[in-house]
Structure 1
């Protein structure tokens, strides 16, 4: 067996194709091949493909996959020899005792050769052979099981009893994190192993190996029911796989979750978020305050006394209109900037909605990220001041946009003019004040990893938090700073959870 944690994986070409003999005219790759290669590519260990199929088409496919996933490719003999094994060992000499070879059960002679040479072997049982376990030390029936097998090996090999973090999120988000080295299958310096949870396998076979769950549950929301009540409890419908995970969490209270679904609920609802931010005004620093924007919830854009309600809410035009549901559904980011009350008539923004103060901030947005006890920030361009917006709009009605795709941003010359013409009380952000607010929000929300956006109002110098979100990408923070802080936040959450457990 592996004496050390797995640091390298060689995929025999026999496990990549549906027909491992290479005589399938379609040369079909197994459906899980690309996802597996992505996991291995970004899991902090060496990965290679051994190419032995005679078909030139197969060789071309293997070469293309190896290049696209930046992994090594070894051209070996038709039947595995001791020289072939030595070639791989020489290429990866620094980890020669920690290489795992994954091969099809059809290649029994090759499996024996590998075992005779002392290699740890994972056998993909492609024939349903009841004697598969006799061919090697580990036997799997699907490629999707390989990360779980590697996780188990690394748990046994590591001396520090690693914490296994099972994670689930949509593929594009997972890839963004993985490319930064956030999800290694090899233990991190602080003893974490990240296991991708797959719903192609029963959760019951994966979760017993997991110490804590990391999720982006907002990726799994199918529907949010909103009524006159702002309470979203029991009104969020998750995907069937998220519901399955929820059921498992409920019956295993000893399983740590980062973060519990109830804790992320307030940031799914812009009204609840705004109500929380109202309590921020007690925080002050040298006369400077931090607060949420003025706002009004509306269920009907054609309400007769809407103008009066806007005035009572301290709202003056232009304003920004946002759906009450903050994330997880397709139109949660469909917004509008209105310049006249008439713009509200038949406005194409989902109801109920939040009409929110538009803050003049010289097109400068401060993105803050809370990773456990660590707080980071980045400066980004933002939407222009009201005067610039009004000139750009030229009275043609509401400005409708998707905040994830088409946020109206000023160019450098416009931003320069805004900076010169703005009546700013305080041009600089008060970092200490915002950090105090971040710590307060961490306590109130009881979240480990979240982000929020701050703008500084030109005339008053008020620091206004205009958005709060759960598990952001924190992509503006350099990887060598962000990823260790990310791991530390997860480790601290687990340790605090265990200390609090009876």
Structure 2
């Protein structure tokens, strides 16, 4: 795994007007300056240069350059805006390293795979050893807290607990209902309709890898439109309810007390009658409704051929596109045989063979399993909805489908006329309150989270949390980051707050 580092690092220097400079390096003035410099290194001086050491994986270094913190700038001699940047030198012993005020890092992959990657474990152990020896040095953000948002199951459980504690009235957005699929769904779902309705969810559902980073498929999502699409999944995966949200996503960026909101396009609202599944990369442009419908039509046609039946268009709107057939789909979609037709400026949809460690260049739509195919039995671990107090439990078959009212309402929302649907809206005040709750929940200072607003109920949902995202929507990110780093140093040693704590302090939540 490629690794790169660069750091924000420097010495605190006195800015007092009454300090004697001395001449020739001798005399009382020079001795006084030495004593004051030593005292500043021990106690810190908010008027001096902030010394920040930081270490990023190579990919993060590239994104930092995109937002104005290039490697050349970081390595420039001398401080900029009161902050000086240097790489952490892991080849030195922690006790020999230059003094630091703050450690800034994006080592999510090291944290995720610490138990199996010795090099990553060594880097994290070095940071921990340095902080143990320098308790006044702050870290953005503490390693144990970052670990809570790189595993999607852990993240959703924390969001669920926070929602139970605060609720919508307390400013906490609601997490989606979810389950964890740990084994393959059988081809015959049984009388109860399959694992999804058995666990209180309704199709369509969106399925995500458990790992939120560190694998080639971490950002590859599968939307399962009906029971036939379940065969596209390679467990374990997190299965979440889909909410009609007007194809509008609100990305919230948090840097300390600074909260910014940016609106982006999202998945389209999906009408009933679609079949199979489709896959997309959440870091690339989302597929359009027309492309999803075409993928569904191709899946339906393949299923009909496998069963020896003539293909007829379903009620998913495919009849409106007479040029589409089982062999013709938009350029973003690959057919089951890997051939591509049409053209599109966007990359093709990824192949839904598995969500972990797959070749990122293989893309195609999914097809349903032929009748009579055999698959292993499904086993899931299920977390109940925020309105329930049940603990995680093994999902067991029930005599009849038990789709929750919330899930049924979400599934029916796409059928409402546009006149009855609300245009999703998120106020800055709501985003700020949500950011406050998220900071309390995760104890982070540099993070982002994604919100959607249900276009029928108007309820806000939090669907993703990311530590230290690209912040590419913030034109002034370098200045905001430097300001935050100085704030952390200025508050070090005071009563602990929500983030940016000295390494020997603990948060009070």
Residue equivalent to 2:92: 202
Alignment partner of 1:174 out of 61, 81, 92: 61
Alignment size in residue pairs: 327
Higher relative contact order (CA 8 A, sep 6+): 2
The answer as to 2:182 corresponding to 1:290 is no
Alignment partner of 2:130 out of 249, 259, 269: 249
Residue equivalent to 1:491: 486
- 1:452-497 Cα offsets, whole Å, 9 max, x none, are 0011111111111110000011111222xx3322222222233333
Inter-partner Cα distance in structure 2 for 1:402 and 1:264: 23
Residue equivalent to 2:302: none
The Cα shift of 1:402 comes to 2.7
Inter-partner Cα distance in structure 2 for 1:179 and 1:317: 39
The alpha-carbon distance between structure 1 residues 467 and 321, as it changes in their structure 2 partners (threshold 3 A), is: same
Q: Contact 1:365/1:454 (CA < 8 Å) preserved in 2?
A: yes
The alpha-carbon distance between structure 1 residues 238 and 432, as it changes in their structure 2 partners (threshold 3 A), is: farther
The alpha-carbon distance between structure 1 residues 176 and 209, as it changes in their structure 2 partners (threshold 3 A), is: same
SS, match of residue 249 in structure 1: helix
Residue equivalent to 1:212: 102
- Matching of residues 62-81 of structure 1 within 5 Å: none
The Cα shift of 1:223 comes to 3.2
- Matching of residues 37-436 of structure 1 within 5 Å: 160-182=47-69, 184=74, 185=76, 186-189=78-81, 191-197=82-88, 201-202=91-92, 204=94, 207-220=97-110, 223=113, 239=120, 241-249=122-130, 251-254=132-135, 255-278=137-160, 279-280=162-163, 282-284=166-168, 290-302=173-185, 307=193, 310-311=196-197, 313-345=199-231, 347-349=232-234, 351-387=235-271, 395=275, 397-405=276-284, 407-409=286-288, 421=418, 423-425=420-422, 427-436=424-433
SS, match of residue 291 in structure 1: coil
The Cα shift of 1:442 comes to 0.4
The alpha-carbon distance between structure 1 residues 330 and 421, as it changes in their structure 2 partners (threshold 3 A), is: same
The Cα shift of 1:408 comes to 2.3
Inter-partner Cα distance in structure 2 for 1:271 and 1:399: 22
- More helix per residue: 1
Inter-partner Cα distance in structure 2 for 1:178 and 1:237: 28
Residue equivalent to 1:53: none
The alpha-carbon distance between structure 1 residues 221 and 317, as it changes in their structure 2 partners (threshold 3 A), is: same
- More strand per residue: 1
Inter-partner Cα distance in structure 1 for 2:425 and 2:258: 21
Q: Contact 1:455/1:463 (CA < 8 Å) preserved in 2?
A: yes
Inter-partner Cα distance in structure 2 for 1:262 and 1:485: 24
The Cα shift of 1:253 comes to 4.8
Residue equivalent to 1:24: none
Q: Contact 1:339/1:398 (CA < 8 Å) preserved in 2?
A: yes
The alpha-carbon distance between structure 1 residues 215 and 344, as it changes in their structure 2 partners (threshold 3 A), is: same
- 1:49-96 Cα offsets, whole Å, 9 max, x none, are xxxxxxxxxxxxxxxxxxxxxxxxxxxxxxxxxxxxxxxxxxxxxxxx
Q: Contact 1:424/1:461 (CA < 8 Å) preserved in 2?
A: no
Residue equivalent to 1:46: none
The alpha-carbon distance between structure 1 residues 195 and 408, as it changes in their structure 2 partners (threshold 3 A), is: same
The Cα shift of 1:212 comes to 1.8
The Cα shift of 1:217 comes to 1.2
The Cα shift of 1:434 comes to 2.6
- Give the TM-score normalised by the residue count of structure 1: 0.57
SS, match of residue 435 in structure 1: helix
- 1:341-394 Cα offsets, whole Å, 9 max, x none, are 23222x344x3211001111111111001100110010111111112xx78xx6
Q: Contact 2:222/2:280 (CA < 8 Å) preserved in 1?
A: yes
Q: Contact 1:167/1:215 (CA < 8 Å) preserved in 2?
A: yes
The answer as to 2:470 corresponding to 1:473 is yes
Inter-partner Cα distance in structure 2 for 1:291 and 1:430: 16
The Cα shift of 1:195 comes to 1.1
SS, match of residue 421 in structure 1: coil
The alpha-carbon distance between structure 1 residues 378 and 410, as it changes in their structure 2 partners (threshold 3 A), is: farther
SS, match of residue 485 in structure 1: helix
Q: For structure 1, which runs of at least 5 residues remain unmatched after alignment?
A: 1-34, 44-154, 225-233
Inter-partner Cα distance in structure 1 for 2:101 and 2:172: 41
Q: Contact 2:178/2:241 (CA < 8 Å) preserved in 1?
A: yes
Inter-partner Cα distance in structure 2 for 1:307 and 1:203: 59
Q: For structure 2, which runs of at least 5 residues remain unmatched after alignment?
A: 10-40, 294-413, 496-501, 505-509
The Cα shift of 1:429 comes to 1.4
SS, match of residue 386 in structure 1: coil
The Cα shift of 1:235 comes to 7.9
**Which region of structure 1 is more displaced relative to structure 2, 486-495 or 290-299?**
486-495
The Cα shift of 1:331 comes to 2.4
